[in-house]
Amino acid sequence: MSSLTCVATEVITTHQKSVGYAYREKPVSDTDSGWRFLSGSETEQYMDRPSHYVTCLLADFIKDHPDVEPLLASPVGAAFARRKAGEAFQALEEE
């Protein structure tokens, strides 16, 4: 896991908001874990700007957000959400 990366919005990485939504997609490279993390408060307009996404080492992200570590064994296609920080993540049904 030490060299695997993930993508998070800068709302989480820069502004220290909690993860509210996490999903795993098919990795785009050998080092990509496929994990994507959002606060859940991002607007569509915000999400449309590539500069709002940060690629970081998954191990470093987990140090700052240990509450998402239990999700990491989930397969591609998994998605999780929670209403507010401190609450447990709930698995979302695949569409």
Map out the domains of the chain as residue ranges: 5-91
Residues 19-34 have a mean pLDDT of 96
What pLDDT, on the 0 to 100 scale, is given for residue 95? 56
With H, G, I as helix, E, B as strand and everything else as coil, classify residue 9.
strand
What pLDDT, on the 0 to 100 scale, is given for residue 1? 55
Q: pLDDT digit string (tens) for 54-73?
A: 999 999 999 999 999 999 99
Tokens of 94: 């695949």
What pLDDT, on the 0 to 100 scale, is given for residue 16? 84
- Full-model pTM: 0.92
